[in-house]
Amino acid sequence: MKKILITAMALAFIVISCKNGDKSRFQVKLSYTNGDKMVTPQNIGKSNGWVFLEEIVYGKSQLPLIVDSQKISGNSGNLNFQGKSQTQGIFELVFGDNVLAIPLINDATEIQIDADLSKTKDFYTVTGSPASKQLQDLLAKVGERNSDIQTTFFQLDSLKKFNAPDSVLVAANNKKNAAVDQLNDYLKQFIQTTPSATLGVLALGWASRSFQPDQMETALKGLKTRFPGNAFLAEMEKNSQQQPEQQSSASGSWVGKTVPELVMADPNGKDVTISSFKGKFVLIDFWASWCGPCRMENPNVVKAYNEFRGKNFTILGVSLDKDKDAWKKAIAQDHLSWTQMSDLKYWNSQAVETFGFQGIPYNVLVDPSGKVIAESLRGEELDAKLKQVLN
């Protein structure tokens, strides 16, 4: 199994976490079997036979910090790892060159791990650490639901390629939306009931990819009420309140203003300008192939385009990609049949400097005169706004 990766959004939520009191030192006891079966010719590496206790940290490099290491000897045995942290956070036991990984939370002074290294799934149990056990369950449940979502996306993609009837596409899209709702319902319930602030903010990080802004706000307020005085939750709330102010100060809030000009190349290298779309309602959609929330929102944007494109409406995609091949592949995979442009400069894109947005997906809706009439439209809000102005 590849090393478990915490998403960049989730990592940002673990800069600070709930205090661990005087329990700054903790011990991880590993009992393993089938140590000889862990390494195969495909995963032999320079770290073969070693097990590392790593702390997941957030910083400029975003690289894990190795806290302790031990070498496996024999088919079975016991290893002890010593850790120290003033805050409660996420750790991992990493086997070899990321052959296997076990995520942990240092909520106890002694954590026991029993692992069968011949397996890649369901290969360990954890005792002595309630938060680590709950983290194990959380990863399994979120993984299952994410797999269901990916399956529905692939099914919908295949149906579109074979020009399935609209009724079939609608049913497939509803199935996809239902899968997303199931994930959201699970995360909502988890965030409301977990006794661990660390797990709460981690789950909220995953939820940020599919929650609507009002759902995020409600979940954050709920965590802050349940964990009063938590420094990181307070910082999260502060950042969420400042974000609209930052965007306003950067862009002046675009609603009611004339859309600025941008000139960038399309995938074929031909220059495209925003001003060339004057005379139409145009949704300028800022996205990227590497942006999970953008890719999840794209089916809604495709649906809006197909429904309203005959009513003097179109879309202009502006990508924050840096890899042209990845950009073009995402356009094809997500069936984005409208005009696309990008300067391939990632967050150094001229689009970010000109429009001043702090995150993507982001969009502005422009009327035929060139005036911005709405921004940050997603899902049902996008559909409702287009029906209002186009019908």
Q: Residue 317 has which token pair?
A: 């995609």
Question: Which residues fall within 8 angstroms of residue 198, CB to CB, at 6 or more apart?
Answer: 14, 17, 18, 88, 89, 90, 105, 107, 131
Task: Output the pLDDT for position 58.
Answer: 52
Closest among 323, 321, 322, 303 to 313, alpha carbons compared: 303
Within 13 A of 124's CA, how many CA atoms are on the CB side?
A: 29
Residues in the chain: 391
Residue 209 clears pLDDT 80, i.e. is over it? no
- Alpha-carbon distance 137 to 135, whole Å? 5
User: Given a cut of 60, is residue 191 above it in pLDDT?
Assistant: yes
Q: For 56-91, write each residue's pLDDT tens digit.
A: 865 434 567 888 988 888 889 999 999 988 778 889
| Secondary structure, 3-state, 229-280 | CCHHHHHHHHHHHHHHHHHHHHHCCCCCCECCCCEEECCCCCEEEHHHHCCC
- Give the N- to C-terminal CA distance of the chain in Å, as an integer: 52
* Over residues 315-320, mean pLDDT: 96
Residue type, 242: Q
Rounded Cα distance, 386 and 391, in Å: 8
Sequence-distant (≥ 6) Cβ neighbours of residue 226 within 8 angstroms: 197, 200
Token digits of residue 259:
């859309």
Q: What is the mean pLDDT of the chain?
A: 82
Most confident segment among 203-217, 248-262, 284-298, 337-351: 337-351
The whole-angstrom separation of Cα 131 and Cα 197 is 10
pLDDT tens column, 120-154: 888 999 999 999 999 999 989 988 888 888 888 77
Q: Confirm if 124 and 114 have CB atoms less than 8 A apart.
A: yes
Please count the helices (runs of H) and the strands (runs of E) in the chain.
Answer: 10, 15
Residue 318, judged by CB atoms within 10 A of its CB (0-12, 13-18, 19+), counts as buried
| Phi and psi torsions of 280, nearest 5° | -125, 155
190 burial class (0-12, 13-18, 19+ CB within 10 angstroms)?
A: buried
- Sheet with strand 124-127: strands edge to edge: 77-84, 25-33, 110-116, 124-127
SS3 state at 323: coil
290 has a pLDDT exceeding 70: yes
Q: Residue 239 — very low, low, confident or very high, per pLDDT cuts 50/70/90?
A: low
Name the DSSP letter for residue 112. E
Two structure tokens written together for 368: 């035929």
Question: How far does CA 311 lie from the centroid of its chain?
Answer: 34
